Structure 1
Amino acid sequence: MADEPVEDLLRLLAPRVLGALTRRYGQFDSCEDAVQEALLAAAVQWPKQGVPDSPQAWLTTVATRRLTDQWRSDHARRQREANVAALAPTDAALTAGPGEEQPPEQDDTLTLLFLCCHPALSEASQLALTLRAVGGLTTAHVARAFLAPEATMAQRISRAKQRIKATGIPFRLPPDAERPGRLRVVLHVLYLIFNQGYTEPLADESRQPGIGLTDEAIRLTRELHRLLPNDGEVAGLLALMLLIEARRPARTGSDGSLVPLAEQDRALWDGSAIHEGTQLITAALSGSPLGPYQVQAAIAAVHDEAARAQDTDWPQILALYQLLGQMAPGPMVTLSRAVAVAMVQGPLSGLDLLKSLDDDERMAGHHRLHAVRAHLLEMAGDDEGAVAAYREAARLADNEPEQRYLAERAARLAG
Structure 2
Amino acid sequence: MDEALLRSLTPGVLGILVRRGADFAAAEDAVQDALVEAVRVWPEDPPRDAKGWLVTVAWRRFLDATRADTARRRREDLVEEEPAAGPASAVDDTLRLYFLCAHPSLTPSSAVALTLRAVGGLTTRQIARAYLVPEATMAQRISRAKRTVSGVRFDRPGDVATVLRVLYLVFNEGYSGDVDLAAEAIRLTRQLAARVDHPEVAGLLALMLLHHARRAARTASDGSLVPLAEQDRSRWDTASIAEGVAILQAALARDRLGEFQAQAAVAALHADAPSAEDTDWVQIVEWYDELVRLTDNPVVRLNRAVAVGEADGPRAGLTALAALDDSLPRHTAAAAYLHERDGDLATAARLYAEAAHKAPDLAERDHLTRQAARLNARLGR
Matches within 5 A, 1:9-408: 9-46=5-42, 48-49=43-44, 51-72=46-67, 74=68, 77=69, 79-88=70-79, 93=84, 102-107=85-90, 108-165=93-150, 168-170=151-153, 172=154, 174-175=156-157, 179=158, 182-197=159-174, 204=176, 207-208=177-178, 211-228=179-196, 230-358=197-325, 363=328, 366=329, 368-408=330-370
Aligned partners of 2:12 and 2:87 also within 8 Å: no
Aligned partners of 2:206 and 2:244 also within 8 Å: yes
- Partner secondary structure for residue 88 of structure 1: helix
Aligned partners of 2:203 and 2:261 also within 8 Å: yes
Alignment-mate amino acid for residue 117 of structure 2: R
Aligned mates of 1:261, 1:91 — CA distance in 2: 55
Aligned mates of 1:89, 1:21 — CA distance in 2: 14
Aligned mates of 1:128, 1:246 — CA distance in 2: 25
Aligned mates of 2:83, 2:235 — CA distance in 1: 55
Alignment-mate amino acid for residue 149 of structure 2: I
Aligned partners of 1:341 and 1:349 also within 8 Å: yes
Aligned mates of 2:169, 2:51 — CA distance in 1: 29
Aligned mates of 1:27, 1:91 — CA distance in 2: 16
Aligned mates of 1:89, 1:246 — CA distance in 2: 50
Alignment-mate amino acid for residue 126 of structure 1: A
TM-score, scaled to structure 2: 0.95
More divergent stretch after superposition (400-409 vs 232-241): 400-409
Give the deviation of 1:50 after TM superposition.
6.0
Distance 1:378 1:67, change over 3 A: same
RMSD over aligned Cα, in angstroms?
A: 1.7
Aligned partners of 1:114 and 1:173 also within 8 Å: no
Distance 1:27 1:395, change over 3 A: same
Aligned mates of 2:247, 2:23 — CA distance in 1: 38
Unaligned runs of 5+ in 2: none
Count of residues paired in the alignment: 375
Give the deviation of 1:398 after TM superposition.
2.2
Q: Deviations over 1:329-365 (max 9, x none)?
A: 1111011101110111100110111112235x6x2xx
Aligned mates of 2:56, 2:78 — CA distance in 1: 14
Distance 1:105 1:91, change over 3 A: closer
- Partner secondary structure for residue 104 of structure 1: coil
Aligned mates of 1:385, 1:19 — CA distance in 2: 57
Aligned mates of 1:352, 1:381 — CA distance in 2: 16
Aligned mates of 2:357, 2:233 — CA distance in 1: 30
TM-score, scaled to structure 1: 0.87
Give the deviation of 1:41 after TM superposition.
2.1
Q: Deviations over 1:290-332 (max 9, x none)?
A: 1111010011001001111111111111111111111111111
- Partner secondary structure for residue 38 of structure 2: helix
Aligned mates of 1:64, 1:384 — CA distance in 2: 68
Aligned mates of 2:255, 2:66 — CA distance in 1: 47
Give the deviation of 1:403 after TM superposition.
1.0
Distance 1:89 1:134, change over 3 A: farther
Aligned mates of 1:153, 1:307 — CA distance in 2: 43
Give the deviation of 1:173 after TM superposition.
6.3
Unaligned runs of 5+ in 1: 94-101, 199-203
Q: Deviations over 1:121-163 (max 9, x none)?
A: 1222111111111111111111111111111111111111111
